[in-house]
Amino acid sequence: MKVIEIKAGGGLENLHIADRPAPQPGTGEIAVRWHATSLNYHDYLVATGGIKVPKGRIPMSDGAGEVIACGDDVHSWKVGDKVMSMFFPNWTDGKPSFQKTVGISGETLDGFMAEQSLVKASAVTAMPEGYSYAEAATLPCACVTAWRGLMVEGGLQMGESVLIEGTGGMSIFGLQLAKAAGARVFATSSSPEKAERLRALGAEAVVNYREDERWGKTIFKMSHGGVDHVLDVGGGSTMYHSIEAAAINGNIISIGILSDGRKGEITFPKLFFKHLRMTGIAVGSRVMQEEMVRAINLSGLKPIIDKSFAFDELADAFRYQASGKHFGKIVLEY
C-alpha cells in the first residue's frame, strides 16, 4: 500500500511517497481503507516543519474510509462500515487530560495519508448519513472544533449571535452550525468575493478586516451591543478585536493562531468589565464527534469543499492552502 511520509526536517519538498506492507488487525483493532483526507492548519505546520515530528511520520489528522477487516473482540464495527477518524484517538469522553490528548493523529501518531492503516475500534466514529468520503473527511478536526466551541463550551441558544473570523474550514462550519441552531452570524473577510459568499450562507454582516483597523468595534456597533459568541482563530493577531466585538457576559473561544498571532495585546479592563469568559480549546472527544454527527443527520448540513486534489498532490494542496484563496475545506481523494 502507498503512504506519504515526512522525511527528516520537514518541508513540502520532504513529503515522500513510500510502500509499506498492508497491516493486519490485532485484538481490538480494525483495518481501514482510507479514501479521503482534508487539510487543516495543524497539518500544514506538521508538513512544513513548524511542528517537529519523527522521520517517517505519516501526516494528516483527518480521514474517512471503509472498514476492511476487524480484529478479535471487535463487535462495534463490521466490514463495509463507513467511518471517520478522530484527532485525539484516545479521548473518548469526559474532560481532556494529558493521557487522553497526548496521542494526536498525524503528529505524535501516524495520520491518514495512507491507503490503509490500523486503528483501535474506539478511535473512529460513523460518517454522517449520505456523506461522501470527501465530505466526511472535512469533519473530524474543523467541524468538531466549531461544534465544541459553540455547542459544548458555549451552550449556543436560538436567537444568540456569533462572530466567525475568516473563511477557513472551521469558521465556515461555525457559520453553518450557528445558522442551523437559529443564531445570528457576523463575519470578517478581506475579500469582497468571499464576503458575498458568506452573506449567501447566512451571515448578517461582513466586515473587511484589512480596510477597517477597528473591525471589532465595528461589529460591536453592528450587533447593537456585541456578539454572544466569538470563534477566535488568529490568537494574538485577532484577540484584541474579539474582545472589542464581544457582548457583556460574552463567550470567546480561542481556537488557533495565524502566522503572526503567537503574541498579542489583550485589553484587560474590557475583559473584566464585560465579564467575558475565554476558553482555549483543541478539537474534542469521541462523544462530541458523535453528537455532532447526530446533529448533522438531523439538520442536513453539508460541508463547503473548495477544491480536491489527488493522493500524490499533497504538496500542491498545501501550497494552495498557503495562498489563502480557498473558501471552506481543501480535500484529497484516493
How would residue 262 be classed by pLDDT, with cut points 50, 70 and 90? confident
Please check whether residues 124 and 219 belong to one and the same domain.
no
Collapsing DSSP states into helix, strand and coil, what is residue 294?
Answer: helix
Residues 196-239 have pLDDT tens digits of 999 999 999 999 999 999 999 999 999 999 999 999 999 999 99
> Residue 57 has what pLDDT?
97
* 112 in the same domain as 91: yes
pLDDT score at 147? 98
- Are 122 and 244 members of one domain? no
Backbone angles phi and psi of 299, in degrees to 5 = -90, -25
Alpha-carbon distance of 281 to 235, in angstroms, equals: 12
Same domain, 273 and 310: no
Radius of gyration of the chain (CA): 20
| Start-to-end CA span in the chain (Å) | 12
**Residue span of the structural domain in which 242 resides:** 143-280
Residue 288 lies in a domain: no
Q: Is the residue at 290 inside a domain? A: no
- 268 within some domain: yes
Do 8 and 122 belong to one domain?
yes
Long-range contacts of 17-22 (CB under 8 A, 24+ apart): 17/312, 20/114, 22/116
Q: What is the CATH number of the domain that holds 20?
A: 3.90.180.10
Residue 128 is assigned to a structural domain of this protein: yes
Provide the whole-model pTM. Answer: 0.96
Domain count, the chain: 2
Beta bridge partners of 123: none
123 with 208, same domain? no
pLDDT for the residue numbered 279? 97
Confirm whether 189 is domain-assigned. yes
Are 134 and 140 within 8 A, CB to CB? no
Q: pLDDT per residue over 84-131, tens digit each? A: 999 999 999 999 999 999 999 999 999 999 999 999 999 999 999 999
In this structure, what CATH number is given to the domain that contains residue 220?
3.40.50.720
* Helix or strand run (H / E) with residue 242: helix 239-245
In terms of domains, do 134 and 151 share one? Answer: no
Q: Is residue 33 scored above 70 in pLDDT?
A: yes
- Encode burial over 130-168: b for 16+ CB neighbours within 10 A, e otherwise: ebbbbbbbbbbbbbbbbbbbbbbbbebeeebbbbbbbbb
* Co-location of 153 and 272 in the same domain: yes
